[in-house]
A and B are shown apart, each in its own frame.
Chain A
């Protein structure tokens, strides 16, 4: 084959592939779903696990021909915006979503970002799914925010009660990073612990967000010798270092947190010292993960090289949005229709074994259904893997 014919063949192949691509795009209209969250800096793991979960699921849906809403098959496009954990950037991100005509946005990841975007979301007709815990976001008159995970004031009491009953815990110490999310989680955790009869022996110690060496920070806490050390709102980056420092300082009690963690990060950062560490997870442990969840993990790993256990929780938001729209297609352009559907919506939970369902909850915490029913799975880390300690349900 001479050079000219090679060029002709390559050109033909290129034109053919372009034509095929355009045919695929022409077949299905696009449904844009937004993500506004932190994908850079020390807390990047939180937002990136969100974004990648959405991108993995969207690619999967598009590969099998789209998602059926009403009589139309849609291809899903994820539009992402890095808010750098800055409320001003989060507002800019939500404005960008509004400009693009997007009505459903996952994020932001932190309290102040979620609070900041509320006016923009409400004015622009956007439903958003934050991973932030302030109750006023989900309580009337607010109605556009839907909590994407289990809040610490819901998981904390379940964990403390279990540890009181099963492990005989009587005293507790709290340590938190000096920023809004961890501090508010510490305060609500402290209130829950005291309500259950635990004695708080230390609750004032905080650390800078960018701390890398926790031994000096933990030294005064460990000297109070609590039965349980709670790492309030701890980020996955800090958890292994805190655990390691606490154990090296001779702490032999229990350590827990109400945030989701990643097994590999714990394995690398703390190794066997993290054995017994209790955290909140999602539907991924072998006991409860469905075949679809396992396939999601495999596809995520194929796309990004490595899975993040935080995605066990974050896989849900996009699924809820799409399933709710499928239940009421009028919601695609009208979030009021979406809100009405939320009250009665119910669908099988594809990520859990058994007869678990997707539905909106939150009436006991917020007085209205403004929370995704994500399984409250409490994990314990042992020998490099998470094991399910208990499974519960909010509401």
Chain B
């Protein structure tokens, strides 16, 4: 039998010709080498990793996750009871043998490898962190006077702080910040105090009336400079348009979204209270600017109603305040209300996105479905 060519290491095994043989030995540096890890990755991930776009994120007391630009993966160690002899190439830095010629050496016995499982980003903590110190009128005043805000010892977070704390990919984190209507002020990501945002919005609507601007055709520059004249910081003026409006495609104009504006006022009316639906509707209507129309459907996923005797009451129950992982979400929902009709439940599930699991799958896994008659509305309860 022929001895293999001159090469050694892994390449001698990979390219071993038919009829050839090669001796396999323990490497002079054979050992546990716990700093060498094996990670199983599909082709897409492999190319992400090679382009340097992948990071591991998590605090020391958490299980690390792996993040690409857009996705988050849990890392699982899969043990293998077989013996896996790991063989580096002959030119591998750190494991070079003087007489590597024709030698194939095993550097370690791999106890298993790491596998990746796509998971939802862990964004609940983000909300908590940012709500610790919302941006309010006091700071806005200081900002207008050029005072140094950072002196005040507030818990504030930059993008790189958040990346270090939150287990989510860059895109998922940015989406999370958007859904909290957060804004970067002086390098820190902040949520705006609700009543301060209310002041800005009311001033904006006021200015629309004064200047006869249409809600569908707002010029950002004009809007912002009018708000700055009313002593609101420039950044927040622009932010207010982004929170309550959308850019009209192909123009530099903005359009206020009636749903977002009406929803804001509904929350202002309700706050922590339970109100008779009739008096709520009356109060709400009073707050709606002329030219917009409030509809109860706008409040899907934000309020619930309950019947007590002949009275129907409405109260705030916002999907934004619920946990983002399915198990916790369903637990909170069923604790709040043991039985749900689909039309009430659906708005509280719409945003749940679980890799590899459809809505139907989610319902099967976490709910029990009951129908009193074949043609009746199904009722969902906890499993």
Q: Does A pair with B?
A: no
